Amino acid sequence: MRLSTYFLPTLKENPADATMASHRLMVRAGLIRPLAAGIYSWLPMGWRVMKKVMEIIREEMDAIGGQEFQLPALNPIEIWEETGRVEAFGDTLFHIKNRPLVLAPTHEEIFTTIARDNMKSYRDFPQIWYQIQTKFRNEPRPRSGVIRGRQFFMKDSYTFDRSFEELDKSYLLHREAYKKIYSRSGLKFFIVGASSGAMGGTGSQEFMVESVDGEDTCALCDDCGYAANLEVASSAVKPVGRLDDSRSIEEIHTPNAKTIDQVAAFLKVSTDRLAKSLVYKTDDTAVLILMAGNDQLNEAKLTAALGKGAVPMQPEELALSTGAGAGSIGPVGLKNFRIIADKRLEDANELISGANKDDYHIAHVDLMRDVKVDGYYDLRTISAGESCPGCGHQLRVVNAIEIGHIFKLGTKYSAALHASYLDEAGEEKPIVMGSYGIGVERIIACHIEQNHDDNGIKWDKAVSPFDVHLASVNMDNKDVVAAADKVYSDLKEAGIEVLYDDRQGVTPGFKFKDADLLGMPVQVIVGERNLKQGNIELKFRSTGERKVVPSAQVLSEIKSYLAN
């Protein structure tokens, strides 16, 4: 491709509204242009990268027996109502105004419908179906360039099996395929145990790229490899436990002591002996949650424990239902509440909690004796430096970008949509499903996050829009042009993708800067200086290494570089 005729708008200056390196560079290098918040146009250079990433995905999906579909983005709203996901998605689901249609944010419903209508016998299984489709989600706040958009490409696949055992196999196939996809895309990534969230199902894992700009937070053990999203991460923190000296409860006056630290200081006890009470409500139940000391409640874990979402109760409601304000609430004698507690407090005694009376606390609380605890769950948010639950090593807590998520869905969707088959015994069974997603844009953005410097992008050859950036330093010199033209045609003939900067009247410095910004792995620089000796210069973008070689060797040098 000759740059003189290629549409490639590059920018010298950083766009004002881009903060992440990948976002800045994708705009500056002419990969994308913003159209509206969270909506981007892919320009020819960017689309080349997109197609390469999609091709890697296709190859690895096909390798595990995946079959590619292309499904509509416009869906009748009825099938989303059948699975209850119109409500589950809420405002995130785009609705069409003048038809009862929605724009699909994912495709469980349609794929399941196709399976339901066509997969009737146990002989039809297993199946792996996938597509690479534009998804639409009305994100409340799009951000970070293409990383969180309202319209984006997702590779989504779905497996259909007869049993949970067979689902495990399909799930593992995907896990391995995903590792290959991300490795081939030149990404450093890790896998974490994750929360299934509103997707439901029996288990899930996320593929993550460490990044200070990541929206997710993960706990990592560098020793044994434990890795989990903070939504589910646990640590080997000590339980509060029982003290031998168990006394009967006693109300104590604690004026102006509201926070855990204030109460602990006032009573001169360790914060661990305090049981903090938090009040949440679901659509039908008021819930009191007991946490040890200053432990932070993890709302994702709470949702998992309750089986549904819960929101903090407002101050007015608090006073009405407990008789006290936040800071003085406690489990003893509390009516009409479901009471649950963090595992750290399991069967603990000699605790101090609120008395449901402003400025009073109750001491010597024994959760086995004085409180009807409805269950102990892991509800706390772990923090950096706590011990790994696997090996005891200190955990690291890092931000990360989610680039893929694999779910064991089980029968949630097949049950809702009545997708069943007849087994060998002629018995009707629900289809067992898995669903697996990859954010295609995120692979590109993360690749740039991990491979760039102040001058621009450093593409890995696997996803680089072109293999070679050929620059002719002086287009007015006939010899230079002739030599560059020859390199261009030789490379093309050899099947190497080459971008040829043949622009007239562009100074060498400008061309070099553009070459570094665009970031092709190999630069071939044809200039008068070296050509006089019959030489041509190669520059390797990732290392900055330069090499002057005889013109006749250029092709073989490049071939061998690209081959390994």
Q: Residues interacting with RNA, by CB under 7 A?
A: 10-17, 19-20, 34, 36-38, 85, 88-89, 92, 105-106, 139-144, 148, 154, 156, 196-199, 213, 215, 299, 309, 405, 407, 435, 437, 455, 473-474, 476, 505, 507-510, 512-517, 525-531, 537, 539, 546
Residues 6+ positions from 180 with CB-CB distance below 8 Å: 60, 63
Minimum CB separation from RNA for residue 128, in Å? 15
Minimum CB separation from RNA for residue 30, in Å? 11
Give the nearer residue to RNA in terms of CB position, either 150 or 361.
Answer: 150
CA angle 318, 320, 321 (to 5 degrees): 70
Give the nearer residue to RNA in terms of CB position, either 2 or 120.
Answer: 2
Residue listed under structure tokens 């490639």: 8
Instruction: Return the structure tokens found at 137.
Output: 């989600």
- In this structure, the strands spanning 380-381 and 396-410 are unpaired
Minimum CB separation from RNA for residue 461, in Å? 19
Minimum CB separation from RNA for residue 530, in Å? 4
Decide if 235 contacts 349 (C-beta within 8 A).
Answer: no
Q: Dihedral of the CA atoms 58, 137, 214, 194 (nearest 10)?
A: -70
Give the nearer residue to RNA in terms of CB position, either 29 or 345.
Answer: 29
Minimum CB separation from RNA for residue 55, in Å? 20
What is the rounded distance in angstroms from the CA atom of residue 326 to the CA atom of residue 330? Answer: 9
Minimum CB separation from RNA for residue 546, in Å? 7
Residue 15 DSSP label? P
What is the rounded distance in angstroms from the CA atom of residue 514 to the CA atom of residue 12? Answer: 9
Minimum CB separation from RNA for residue 463, in Å? 21
Q: Which residues pair with 472 in a beta bridge?
A: 526
Residue listed under structure tokens 């402003």: 358
Cα–Cα distance list, 388 to 203, 210, 511 (Å): 21, 19, 51
Give the nearer residue to RNA in terms of CB position, either 26 or 517.
Answer: 517
Give the nearer residue to RNA in terms of CB position, either 40 or 125.
Answer: 40
Give the nearer residue to RNA in terms of CB position, either 328 or 414.
Answer: 414
Decide if 406 contacts 175 (C-beta within 8 A).
Answer: yes
Decide if 26 contacts 447 (C-beta within 8 A).
Answer: no
Minimum CB separation from RNA for residue 499, in Å? 14
Residue 19 DSSP label? -
- In this structure, the strands spanning 127-136 and 151-161 are antiparallel
Q: Which residues pair with 352 in a beta bridge?
A: 274
Give the nearer residue to RNA in terms of CB position, either 170 or 435.
Answer: 435
User: Other CB atoms closer than 10 Å to residue 181's CB: what's the count?
Assistant: 25
Minimum CB separation from RNA for residue 11, in Å? 5
Give the nearer residue to RNA in terms of CB position, either 32 or 388.
Answer: 32
Residues 6+ positions from 452 with CB-CB distance below 8 Å: 21, 22, 25, 458, 519
Identity (one letter) of the amino acid at 22? S
Decide if 213 contacts 18 (C-beta within 8 A).
Answer: no
Minimum CB separation from RNA for residue 358, in Å? 27
Tell me the three-class secondary structure of 287-338, residue by residue: EEEEEECCCEECHHHHHHHHCCCCEECCHHHHHHHHCCCCCCCCCCCCCCCE
Task: Please classify residue 507 by burial: count the beta carbons closer than 10 Å to its beta carbon, then call 0-12 exposed, 13-18 middle and 19+ buried.
Answer: exposed
Give the nearer residue to RNA in terms of CB position, either 89 or 377.
Answer: 89
Instruction: Return the structure tokens found at 80.
Output: 């989303």
Minimum CB separation from RNA for residue 281, in Å? 14
Give the nearer residue to RNA in terms of CB position, either 149 or 430.
Answer: 149
Minimum CB separation from RNA for residue 39, in Å? 7
Cis peptide before 126 (omega within 30 of 0): yes
Give the nearer residue to RNA in terms of CB position, either 156 or 161.
Answer: 156
Give the nearer residue to RNA in terms of CB position, either 71 or 269.
Answer: 71
Instruction: Return the structure tokens found at 217.
Output: 């937070």
